[in-house]
Amino acid sequence: MIDLSICLPAIRPSYWERLYNSYLKSCQKYSFEVVFIGPHDLPDSLKGKPNIKFIKSYATSVRSAMEGVLICEGRLIAIPADDGYAFPNALDQCIELRNQHGKQDVVVLRYREGEGMSGLPMAGDYWSVRGHPLLMSLEIPVEYKLFMQPLMSREYLINIGGWDCRFEHLAFASHDLSYRIQRDGGVLYLSPGEVFNYDYRFQHKGDHGPIHDSHIEHDLPLFVRLYDKPNNRTSIDFDNWKDCSEVWERRWPGGIPG
């Protein structure tokens, strides 16, 4: 069995060769595959590699992640982003940490982000409810950690239902998943070091524009509705992705690319 599936909703093919090459240095002790899911074809340099799969998809990043999970074969699964690179040996260290714990437990893949990949390390509280005033105002235990990018058992991810595809973007969908896992008895462990460095600015501009809009206009209000009162959310129906449109209208208002 493959040790790790990297399930990657992806829209920036100019980054992908560098990203894949960084995985080779970050995960040297264990076998891995990369599943790209997105609207743009693989670069020629990545075609034919035995540990790369590709799904053509115009859906939201949340549905795309669920589509990718279906063809992943790894014992473990990680869901990063495509606009950066992995640090050497970092994924190996995360797999080793994950192997020390139970089936429901998750390694939070810590990262830095900034324009031109110039971001500084995140403060420790960034990875917890305590570090976010909005989250502390909701009905979420303050001792909970959160993730945007987990490394976890693929089987358990499926069993708990994956992401709620009512969300458009993976950020709040991942917060929701992280809380459901902890309510189900799972423990979140921070990665030993930072795993990724990303080129990112959260603003209404360029290919990040639809992410910004979905985050503010749709996903945040949905998240608040779910967590402004106590709930017992744990497992959901994994097939909920089938109720999500095959085309993310916010990203492709003029129709899918020809």
- CATH code for the structural domain at 2-243: 3.90.550.10
Average pLDDT, the chain: 94
Given a contact cutoff of 8 angstroms between Cβ atoms, the answer to whether 178 and 144 are in contact is: yes
- CB atoms closer than 10 angstroms to residue 217: 11
Query: Parallel, antiparallel, or unpaired for β 74-78 and 188-190?
Result: unpaired
Write the pLDDT tens digit of every residue in 157-214. Answer: 999 999 999 999 999 999 999 999 999 999 999 999 999 999 876 566 677 788 889 9
At 68, the amino acid letter reads: G
**Burial zone of 163 (CB within 10 Å; 0-12 exposed, 13-18 middle, 19+ buried):** buried
Q: Cα–Cα distance between 130 and 145 in angstroms, integer?
A: 8
Quick one: pLDDT at residue 203?
Answer: 61
CA–chain centroid gap for 42, Å, is 20
| Alpha helix stretches (DSSP H) within the chain | 16-26, 61-71, 90-99, 133-136, 154-159, 170-183, 209-213, 220-227
* Alpha carbon distance 45, 63 (integer Å): 27
CA distance linking residue 205 with residue 198, whole number of Å: 16
> What is the pLDDT at residue 96?
98
Residue of 97 and 121 predicted with greater confidence = 97
Q: Kindly tell me the sign of the dihedral angle through the C-alpha atoms of 28, 77, 124, 100.
A: negative
Express each pLDDT in 45-92 by its tens digit. Answer: 999 999 999 999 999 999 999 999 999 999 999 999 999 999 999 999
Containing H/E element for 4?
Answer: strand 2-9
Q: What is the percent of the chain with per-residue pLDDT over 70, rounded to a whole number?
A: 97
Give the tokens for residue 147.
Answer: 């993730």
In the block, which residue shows the tokens 């790790």? 4
Neighbours of 101 (CB within 10 A): 13
Q: How confident is the model at residue 118 (pLDDT cuts 50, 70, 90)?
A: confident
Global pTM?
Answer: 0.95
